[in-house]
A and B are shown apart, each in its own frame.
Chain A
Amino acid sequence: ETGVTQTPRHLVMGMTNKKSLKCEQHLGHNAMYWYKQSAKKPLELMFVYNFKEQTENNSVPSRFSPECPNSSHLFLHLHTLQPEDSALYLCASSQEATSGYEQYFGPGTRLTVT
């Protein structure tokens, strides 16, 4: 256990559905991240939140909408997704101003868009 939990672990949704992914960290960190992991591609950073403020958005389509209500929780709201959005979505957290900026990952949500 890394101290970062994600729900659900698996999600199948149609292209017209709306769903949300949830991430919670129990490490007292103040930065949280969403990554996308597709087959045979490097991990892609999607969003970064620092002290609840979004600091990075790596040209992610608007059908992905993040929300960070506090330093412990991070959501990814999904709507009108495409089949190519099927992937493993990983959440991570880190503590700013630590020596190594190391990020701790949750187990991921395996998303399938039909």
Chain B
Amino acid sequence: GEDVEQSLFLSVREGDSSVINCTYTDSSSTYLYWYKQEPGAGLQLLTYIFSNMDMKQDQRLTVLLNKKDKHLSLRIADTQTGDSAIYFCAEIPSGSARQLTFGSGTQLTVLP
């Protein structure tokens, strides 16, 4: 199975909060990341969290990390149509200083 797992699809109404979830397998991962990919574009780094943190907030984005359950989430407050994209969770497993392992991505659709 995959090292990093995500749900494939999420739909929310404009103005609601979105929560995108991710589970990973390497409990020694040092950094975990969220990337956003819009159609026809590359990956845009949204935020990352160090493994000794359990929460990080950046404007409308809140990242929660539960190391015990190896669960990472990205909450987008007041979701807008421009937030529609694919969101990728990624980790740097232990022993691979710069090799990101990505999930398959969650397609977020924001409905008017």
Binding site for B on A (CB under 8 A): 2, 4, 6, 31, 33, 40-43, 45, 48, 50, 56, 90, 92, 94, 96, 99-108
Interface assignment of B10: CB less than 8 Å from any CB of chain A = no
Complex formed: what's the CA distance from A31 to B104 in Å? Answer: 24
Nearest residue, chain B, Cβ from A108:
B42
CB distance from A34 to the nearest CB of B (A): 12
A13: min CB distance to chain B, Å: 19
Q: How far, in angstroms, from A33 to B44 measured CA to CA in the complex? A: 15
**Interchain CB contact under 8 A, B43 and A42:** no
User: Which chain A residues border B48 with CB–CB below 8 Å?
Assistant: 100, 102
Chain B residues near A (Cβ < 8 Å): 2, 4, 31, 33, 35, 40-45, 48, 50, 88, 92, 97-105
The count of A-to-B residue pairs whose CB atoms sit within 8 angstroms is 58
Q: Compute how far the CA of A36 lies from the CA of B49 in the bound complex, rounded to whole angstroms.
A: 25
Cross-chain contact A42 with B102 (CB below 8 angstroms): yes
Residues of A within 8 A of B31 (CB): 100-102
3 tightest Cβ-Cβ pairs between the two chains A and B: A105-B42, A105-B43, A43-B102
A-B contact pairs, 6 of them (CB 8 A): A31-B98, A42-B102, A90-B43, A101-B98, A107-B42, A108-B42
Which chain A positions have C-beta within 8 A of B40? 107
| CB pair A2 B99 closer than 8 Å | no
New A-B pairs, 8, CB < 8 Å, besides A90-B42, A102-B48, A106-B42? A4-B42, A33-B98, A42-B104, A42-B105, A43-B102, A50-B98, A92-B43, A107-B42
